[in-house]
Amino acid sequence: MNMWIKNSKLLKTYFPDFYKKSVSSDYACNDLQIYELKEKNLSLQSPSCRCYLHSSYNVDREMHELFRDTDDPEQILIIFGLGMGYCLEYIQKQHIRYRKVLILEPFNNIFREMLKIRDFGPLLRKRDVSIIIFNDAQKVMPQIMGQVMTSKKVKFLYHLSYRSIFEEIYQEISRLFMNEKRAFITNTATIDRFLNEWTENQLISLAKKQASAACLQGKFESIPAVIISAGPSLEKRIDEIKEIQDRALIIAPGTGARICNQKGIKAHIATATDSQKHEASLFKDSSIKVLVGSYRLHPEVDRVFPHNFLRINLHNDLIAQYFHRYFNLPFDIMNDQASVSSVAIELAAKLGCDPIILVGQDLCFYENKLHAGDEKDSLHELFKGQIQEATDIFGEKVHTYPSFMVIRRDMELINLKHQGSRKIINATEAGLGIPGVENQKLMDVIDHYISPRENDVRQIIDDVLSDSVNLNCYKDIDINVFYQHLGSEIDRLEELNIDKLSKLEKLQLLIDKHFKRRDIADAIEGINKTNSQLQTVDFYLQVVMPMLSQFLTYYKAGMQYNYSAKPDDPGAYLYYESNVYALTSRYLKIIKGIIKQQVNHSPGNKLYEDAGYTIPSINVNEHQSRGFTIPLNKKKDDEQPGLTLPFTIEI
């Protein structure tokens, strides 16, 4: 009996968009020939392969092999190919437990034949099953990752016939899936790094009681600043820079400070923001007299830098900002940037400098090297795998790196921000240039803006540093009082968070047992009351939530992917709030351990070195820890090459 009319009517009525995809020639594989056989089976032939869709001997045995070692209520199953739907029947027949099933159907050829042979209606009634018909593995990956981001337990299954007939697309799906999985693991390590390194470094830095760089603010009004970055072209500008001397403020960010030291350039200020230990090598035995660094700098930088150390509050230095508010200390917040060179531009603007002149800001590779002074063809393999072609200011083809493009965009925005108040000039004489920033020759800039001046920048700096009023406001602060205050705040937050966990567990139970909506609504209201209590704690408002918000964005994306059809689903609320609880608990535990280390053991020594690998465990139920996989961000203009069919609609 031909089931096409019945099935097509069903799909047109309930899933009209999906029906259009299932019959569209855009989703057909033109190289695939299909012949119908007896016993609801098909013969498939492509240019490289010929096979049966299912076993011609024993379909049950075929399904048994497909679902071997597959039975876990928290598991998401990704199945490559629906075939005749036997896989869904086998799941039901064998009572295989799962959380969600996602079927990837390459092209619509086999699906169309299935609609002719089988009654599709019963398959639609399977719980938490979705199907995607697609014709491009690359474009459908955001949908796939969006479906599975709520679980760490994912199993990829395939029908042998689909893997054989669609070998190339199967390999591409597998490769992309593994790449995304690795990216998620990397992002999780990044969370550990932020939560561990940034937090610990701030708490250690605050104990140093170092003066704020705000003491320099406005002291260089209308004095030119030269920002010396470390691009390969800097080698050609060394002699010209040396002519500047003290007539302009020379700022050397990051690696630029090391090169200034090596080449005998007498920079006045170095800047640093990186939280990792290797940053210290850039400033060891430096001749530069002032280092302006963020509170999240690794303490090793402070140990090896031999001169004056001033601090800046970047907008992600949340604990340092909280410290200043707690002791009623004045502070200024600077925007965090993708590059320390961008931070140096912002610093120069705050100090009053005008114009701000960029040198060595190549944003690309010349002679296959990253920095001035590097050997030719010394570019690390890490960069070689990600380089992309670009055009420099002379119209020549060069290679750049994705991070350089982010820095370029940052500098473009900084220039727009300061237009009308500060002039920014790119005197690199090489590289990609920065949109909106004028390119000039360095000697022309020196002749026009610097040589005519009689400034004595070094004397200005000496005068500021000799003023004890600027430097001593931190000296009488007892850091242990601050640590004790944080401990009390954390104890209070942990009590509330434990209460929240018990309420989340109750909500999970109510959802699993299909309780009445009123009972579920009451449970959600109870969680919201605990959230309101958490919001009354200053440390939670000013540090914990702002710090975690950049990670919780991923889980909001997860809700949009997984519950877009049911935004009011209590499961969406549980998913998001469980992750808020877990991240909060994790972060509080980290801070508590750091404070204990500083107070009771080794002040100034790090508890979390290479922190991404030393995260302390949290004793929570499995359903509370799931979701720590960072989801792929979905862009608003993502193309929808496949259509997800929810199987939860009652027919």
Dihedrals phi, psi of 309, to nearest 5 degrees? -120, 115
- Scored b (16 or more CB within 10 A) or e, 67-100 reads beeeeeeebbbbbbbbbbbbbbebbeeeebebbb
Cα dihedral across residues 462, 464, 469, 472: positive or negative: negative
- Per-residue pLDDT, 343: 95
Looking up tokens 């309101």 gives 532
How far apart are the C-alpha atoms of 313 and 213, rounded to whole Å? 9
> Which residues make Cβ contacts (< 8 Å) with residue 507, sequence separation at least 6?
520, 523, 524, 527, 570, 573, 574
Dihedrals phi, psi of 258, to nearest 5 degrees? -65, -40
Q: How many CA atoms lie within 13 A of 109 on its CB side?
A: 21
How far apart are the C-alpha atoms of 562 and 575, rounded to whole Å? 10
- Report which of residues 227 and 549 the model is more confident about: 227
Structure tokens at 216: 């320099």
- Per-residue pLDDT, 635: 33
Q: Using one digit for the tens of pLDDT, what is the confidence trace for 508-543?
A: 999 888 888 899 999 999 999 999 999 999 999 999
Looking up tokens 């929810």 gives 646
- Per-residue pLDDT, 99: 84
> Which residues make Cβ contacts (< 8 Å) with residue 34, sequence separation at least 6?
42, 43, 44, 45, 109, 110, 113
Per-residue confidence at 12, pLDDT binned at 50, 70, 90?
Answer: very high
Nearest C-alpha neighbor of 558 from the set 547, 569, 545: 569
Length of the chain: 651
Please report, for the chain, the start and end positions of each structural domain, with discontinuous segments joined by +: 4-149+642-646, 190-199+477-625, 210-466
How far apart are the C-alpha atoms of 388 and 363, rounded to whole Å? 12
Q: Give 83-86's long-range contacts (Cβ < 8 A, gap of 24+).
A: 83/53, 83/54, 83/110, 83/114, 83/159, 83/161, 83/162, 84/40, 84/41, 84/42, 84/53, 84/54, 84/114, 84/117, 84/118, 85/114, 85/118, 85/120, 85/123, 86/54, 86/59, 86/62
Per-residue confidence at 502, pLDDT binned at 50, 70, 90?
Answer: very high
Averaged over 184-203, what is the pLDDT? 71
Averaged over 358-369, what is the pLDDT? 92
Which residues are paired to 226 by β-bridges?
250, 357
Q: Using one digit for the tens of pLDDT, what is the confidence trace for 590-602?
A: 999 999 888 886 6
User: Which residue type, as a one-letter code, is found at position 449?
Assistant: Y
Q: What is the mean pLDDT of the chain?
A: 85
- Per-residue pLDDT, 604: 65
Q: Using one digit for the tens of pLDDT, what is the confidence trace for 228-248?
A: 999 999 999 999 999 999 999
DSSP 91-111: HHHTT---SEEEEEEESSHHH
- Scored b (16 or more CB within 10 A) or e, 381-406 reads eebeeebeebebeeeeebbbbeebbe
DSSP 28-82: --TT-EEEEETTTEEEEEETTEEEESS-SS-HHHHHHHHTTT---TTPEEEEE--
User: Which residue type, as a one-letter code, is found at position 612?
Assistant: G
Highest mean pLDDT: which range of 107-121, 545-559, 633-647: 107-121
**Contact, 53 vs 41, CB < 8 A?**
yes
The predicted model scores a pTM of 0.67
Structure tokens at 492: 């209070």
Per-residue confidence at 603, pLDDT binned at 50, 70, 90?
Answer: low
Phi-psi label, residue 288: left if phi above 0, alpha if psi -120 to 50, beta otherwise = beta
Please state which of the ranges 194-208, 351-365, 490-504 shows the lowest mean pLDDT. Answer: 194-208
Strand order of the β-sheet with 49-52 is 33-37, 41-46, 49-52
3-state secondary structure of 189: helix
User: Which residue type, as a one-letter code, is found at position 241?
Assistant: I
Averaged over 81-97, what is the pLDDT? 95
Looking up tokens 């509080």 gives 588
How far apart are the C-alpha atoms of 643 and 409, rounded to whole Å? 35
Q: Does the pLDDT of residue 264 top 80, yes or no?
A: yes
Rounded percentage of the chain residues whose pLDDT exceeds 90: 58
- Per-residue pLDDT, 466: 87
Structure tokens at 553: 């964005």
Strands 76-80 and 49-52: unpaired
Q: Does the pLDDT of residue 194 top 80, yes or no?
A: no
Q: Using one digit for the tens of pLDDT, what is the confidence trace for 482-492?
A: 999 999 999 99
